Amino acid sequence: MTLPALRQCYLEGRLRVRDVVAALLARQAEFEDHGIWIYRPEPDRVLARADELDRLGPETLPLYGIPFVVKDNIDVAGWPTTAAYPRALYTAEQDAYVVGRLLQAGAVLLGKTNLDQFATGLNGTRSPYGVCVNAFDRRYISGGSSSGSAVAVAANLASFALGTDTAGSGRVPAAFNNLVGVKPSGGLLSTRGVVPACRSLDCVSVFALTVEDGLAVTRLAAGYDADDPFARAGAVNLTLYAAPERFRFAVPAMERLQFFGNDEGSRLFAAAVERLRMLGGVDVAVDFEAFLQTAQLLYQGPWVSERAWAIASLLGTQDGDLLPVIRRIVETASGFSAADAFSAYYRLKALKRRIEPLWRDVDFLLTPTAPTIYRIEDVQADPIELNNALGYYTNFVNLLGLCALAVPAGFQGDGLPFGVTLIAPNGGDARLAAYGAQFQAAHGVPLGSTRESAPPHRFDPAPREYVDLFVCGAHMGGLALNHELLQRGARFVAECATSPCYRLYALEQFAPARPGLIRGEEGQAIQGELWRVPLKEFGGFVVAIPPPLAIGSVQLGDGGWTTGFVCEGHAAKQGRDISDLGSWRVYLQRQSASQPRT
């Protein structure tokens, strides 16, 4: 059911679109009691679309014959939209912008899926159309609000699905059903034709079996929509490229990690961190308090009032089908004033400023997607507090204008899935996909609820957005010339060393003194640091380097090569050989210790 696999079958003539669609329509009967659907068109209508595509052929359409479903707060022309509130039902006159783009690309829409009413909830139990159950264990929640979309993909009823994400609705169901969940940069996917939950925060999200599929669907659904006032005008790279061999990622400091008694979650998150280390990552524990304080703003001031306004505009004078738990949430909006709204907005701006420096030091933030998973009966008994716990790691993302990628990360001892989320600033979608795809491929977990493992990913070469630079002298962190890197936006990646075939010389003609690194037949491993320099700043940095120093290729201790500081060979005659010390820092310490004290 992955996009490349189906496309290959179509291109080779081994399958027709009608074959796939007919099989999936028949398979729906196996999941009638899972609470997946709100609306399914007549089978003949879907099969007619399949026949139309079979007559066209697969060569020119990137999503030719790919089956998908959409959450029932997203418009489809001629189909009803309910947002899980029957009294608000209307027949859409045109497709939502994203739906239209996917249909034009050749995809086949099979139906509209269940959700927490008005997309308010993270658990999947808040719908008059029935509780949507977990694809792995019917006793457990599916996650929400995009519950039916996630379960449909996990159950192999569709290759991908559209959901929405305001506070985690496109990520929590992904984690609970062993899927990839793409929460794109705000405005990247138009929300025109989407029933709003909290319009300033809403995103259309994508559920898929693999990171590659999720990014491909996002790329095809994206596009500047001039009729959406929240649309993003700037282009965003959405190519799946190979992740760098070395990277840095943030994790919440241990005292802020919360699993609400779920020891399995703690174990699996630790294993995910270790897997990223094995892939070349360096983890950095960060203070998570500002993120948690941001999350607390979600149900204060402007955003709960905005959610209440969105619902009120649909309710009219009748609210007989409004679930009690939804009414309880939106009624709190009456307690907020305009002053409260501005106060919360100012607080959010301050928290954003406090968090901003983090992104200069790491490639992404890694968190659990959800701290734990609950039984359906437990959530129904305590619908507010347990739902709030599910958003511990998701509620801050949209408020801070970040993008996120939820990725499967293994299974608990009871067979329920666990997931992690990679988070980056707005526009970092391709970066997250690069690391997420590498993580998924290395992990080897099955796809959805099937026993099939993820196929190999096809990576494009990494874009040259930066240069990894090995430094072993005055440009290292805390030393005399480190400011030259910092001023150009460079950031530290990792401590490392050369292969054992270099010699280091103290070039004392410089002030301050600087080392010269020369490769030879006999040598030592020289300690240094790897820094990531923005490509647009690299040229200006290089032209300022004085001879006999230069930039060349340096072999690291793991056998790989990188760009780094080197020195012309003739400088060895004028410098002092300090190779045995193995480090410029050690040399400086020795020099400092030998200075007379006054």
368-375 average pLDDT score: 98
Which residue of the set 169, 190, 205, 499 is catalytic?
Answer: 169
**Cα separation of 364 and 432, whole Å?**
7
Phi-psi region of 489 (alpha: psi -120 to 50; beta: other; left: phi over 0): left
pLDDT digit string (tens) for 570-594?
888 888 899 999 999 999 988 887 7
pLDDT bucket at 455, cuts 50 / 70 / 90: low
pLDDT bucket at 596, cuts 50 / 70 / 90: low
Q: Which fold has domain 466-594?
A: Hypothetical upf0131 protein ytfp (3.10.490)
Query: According to the model, what pLDDT value does residue 319 have?
Result: 61
**Cα separation of 241 and 431, whole Å?**
8
**pTM assigned to the model:** 0.84
Instruction: Please give the helix or strand (H or E) that residue 421 lies within, else none.
Output: strand 417-425
Quick one: which of 6, 11, 36 has its CA closest to 21?
Answer: 6
Token pair of 389, please? Answer: 């716990």
Query: According to the model, what pLDDT value does residue 184 have?
Result: 96
Query: According to the model, what pLDDT value does residue 397 have?
Result: 98
**Predicted confidence (pLDDT) at residue 462 exceeds the cutoff of 70:** no
pLDDT bucket at 218, cuts 50 / 70 / 90: very high
DSSP, collapsed to helix, strand or coil, labels residue 522 as coil
* Phi, psi angles (nearest 5°) of residue 426: -50, 130
Which residue of the set 145, 159, 205, 305 is catalytic?
Answer: 145
Residue ranges of domains in the chain: 3-443, 466-594
DSSP, collapsed to helix, strand or coil, labels residue 370 as coil
**Predicted confidence (pLDDT) at residue 489 exceeds the cutoff of 70:** yes
**Predicted confidence (pLDDT) at residue 149 exceeds the cutoff of 90:** yes
Strand 160-165 to 67-71 pairing: parallel
Token pair of 76, please? Answer: 């489809």
| Fold: same for 3-443 and 466-594 | no
Query: According to the model, what pLDDT value does residue 560 have?
Result: 78
Q: Is 205 a catalytic residue?
A: no
Which residue of the set 71, 112, 146, 159 is catalytic?
Answer: 71
Query: According to the model, what pLDDT value does residue 597 have?
Result: 58
**Cα separation of 364 and 424, whole Å?**
5
The per-residue DSSP string of 289-348 comes to HHHHHHHHGGGSTHHHHHHHHHHHHHHTT--TTS-HHHHHHHHGGGG--HHHHHHHHHHH
**Predicted confidence (pLDDT) at residue 463 exceeds the cutoff of 70:** no
**CATH superfamily assigned to domain 3-443:** Amidase signature (AS) domain (3.90.1300.10)
Q: Is 145 a catalytic residue?
A: yes
- Gyration radius from the chain CA atoms: 27
